[in-house]
């Protein structure tokens, strides 16, 4: 998934850096990905550690992580995926509120994809409510739907706005692609909580922090994914059909330093890594002065080519250079 702040492309640098500090054998360690997003970091550590704890404030992210991290046993999913693929389309909330031809005139999805999302989402809920599928399969199917719907979304990259005309990839019919996960010998857990609450209840060896860097709230930028995941109804607001969303202290210039300090103070982990970049709300000096109060501090950095989506098409990206920091605290 194309996600703001995704660490997918930085995962080998992160692993190399964490290996440098914690050693190359991580097999007896508990690794926590407290701001997990797409789950890309937790997924790369899942086969290497004893246990992953994944968490995010957003429900769509919980769904992805509950599948990619939480699922750890083989599922017999193919017959269900096939049945979902062949359902008769229906005109439900996603079609009416966010799709071409729907009552609202919003253009997040083509008409046929909006109807298909509604049909698939309803059927998953029917199976789950009748206990025909268990929780593991439920989240596997939901994660597969979120990933597949995101591929055909008619946006420049996030759901803060839709494009005026259906772009090429949004005209493709949605294909339900199974969201395959890795089976490991470890035991993993997944949460959907505010980081600063959850931190009081967990402990472990490596705490990886990748909070938002700037004022862009994830709940606003990915609201359509939350609506597909939750399958609730509400009165959509404004041109983009926004739902009410949670606001993160890490996206607020006035609150971020206090929230960060509280998190570091509460953390019962041996080593803490913070990903942040040089364009973030907290200058590197502020991060350093907070972390230094709680133990031995170090800093790694790398330059990173970030890609900005073009306004009309997801192609033709413009590259911008940033410095990616990995702040380290041995507590
Ligand atoms: C930079 S992204 C993480 C990206 C992730 N590492 C990846 O590779 O996909 C930041 C994440 O923090 C989450 N978030 C923001 N505030 C939070 C909070 N207070 N507690 C937990 N998660 C939060 C957002 O929903 C978002 O998914």
Phi, psi torsion values for 216, nearest 5 degrees:
-75, 110
> Of all protein residues, whose CA lies closest to atom 23 belonging to ligand 1?
57
Do residues 60 and 231 lie in contact, with contact meaning Cβ atoms separated by under 8 Å? no
Contacts of residue 234, defined as CB under 8 A and 6 or more positions apart, other chains included, come to 243, 244
The structure's pTM equals 0.96
Q: Which two tokens stand for residue 195?
A: 């980081």
Q: How far does residue 34's CA lie from ligand 1's centre (Å)?
A: 8
pLDDT in tens, 219-248: 999 999 999 999 999 999 999 999 999 999
195 lines ligand 1 (CB under 6 A): yes
In the block, residue with structure tokens 């857990």: 189
Rounded distance between C-alpha atoms, residue 105 and residue 85, angstroms: 26
Number of C-beta neighbours around residue 53 at 10 A: 22
Q: Averaged over 86-91, what is the pLDDT?
A: 98
Number of C-beta neighbours around residue 308 at 10 A: 11
Q: Which of 226, 221, 245 lies closest to 309, judged by CA? A: 221
42 lines ligand 1 (CB under 6 A): no
Average pLDDT, the chain: 96
Contacts of residue 297, defined as CB under 8 A and 6 or more positions apart, other chains included, come to 288, 291, 327, 328, 329
Does the structure show a pLDDT above 60 at 313? no
Atom of ligand 1 nearest to the CA of 33: 6
Does the structure show a pLDDT above 60 at 317? no
pLDDT in tens, 40-65: 999 999 999 999 999 999 999 999 99
Rounded distance between C-alpha atoms, residue 178 and residue 84, angstroms: 11
pLDDT in tens, 126-181: 999 999 999 999 999 999 999 999 999 999 999 999 999 999 999 999 999 999 99
pLDDT in tens, 260-289: 999 999 999 999 999 999 999 999 999 999
100 lines ligand 1 (CB under 6 A): no
Contacts of residue 164, defined as CB under 8 A and 6 or more positions apart, other chains included, come to 107
Q: How confident is the model at residue 305 (pLDDT cuts 50, 70, 90)?
A: confident
Atom of ligand 1 nearest to the CA of 38: 9
Strand, coil or helix: what is 132?
Answer: coil
Q: Averaged over 106-110, what is the pLDDT?
A: 98
């Amino acid at each position: 998934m194309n996600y703001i702040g995704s660490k997918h492309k930085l995962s080998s640098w992160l692993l190399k850096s964490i290996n440098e500090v914690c050693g190359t054998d991580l097999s007896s360690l508990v690794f926590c990905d407290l701001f997990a997003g797409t789950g890309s970091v937790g997924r790369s550590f899942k086969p290497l550690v004893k246990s992953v704890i994944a968490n995010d404030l957003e429900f769509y992210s919980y769904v992805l992580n509950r599948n990619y991290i939480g699922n750890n046993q083989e599922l017999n999913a193919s017959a269900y995926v096939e049945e979902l693929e062949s359902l008769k389309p229906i005109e439900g909330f996603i079609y009416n509120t966010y799709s071409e031809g729907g009552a609202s005139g919003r253009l997040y999805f083509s008409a046929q994809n909006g109807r298909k999302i509604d049909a698939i989402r309803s059927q998953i809920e029917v199976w789950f409510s009748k206990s025909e599928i268990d929780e593991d399969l439920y989240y596997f199917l939901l994660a597969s739907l979120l990933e597949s719907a995101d591929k055909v979304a008619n946006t420049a990259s996030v759901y803060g706005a839709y494009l005026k005309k259906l772009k090429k990839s949004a005209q493709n019919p949605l294909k339900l692609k199974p969201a395959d996960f890795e089976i490991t010998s470890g035991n993993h857990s997944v949460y959907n909580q505010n980081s600063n609450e959850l931190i009081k209840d967990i402990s472990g060896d490596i705490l990886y922090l990748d909070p938002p860097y700037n004022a862009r709230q994830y709940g606003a930028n990915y609201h359509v994914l939350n609506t597909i995941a939750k399958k609730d109804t509400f009165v959509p607001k404004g041109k983009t059909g926004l739902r009410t969303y949670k606001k993160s202290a890490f996206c607020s210039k006035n609150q971020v330093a206090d929230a960060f300090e509280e998190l570091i103070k509460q953390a019962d982990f041996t080593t803490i890594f913070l990903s942040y970049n040089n364009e973030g709300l907290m200058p590197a000096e502020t991060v350093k002065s907070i972390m230094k109060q709680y133990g031995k501090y170090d800093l790694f950095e790398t330059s990173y080519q970030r890609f900005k989506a073009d306004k009309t098409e997801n192609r033709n990206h413009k590259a911008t250079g940033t410095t990616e920091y990995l702040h380290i605290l041995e507590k």
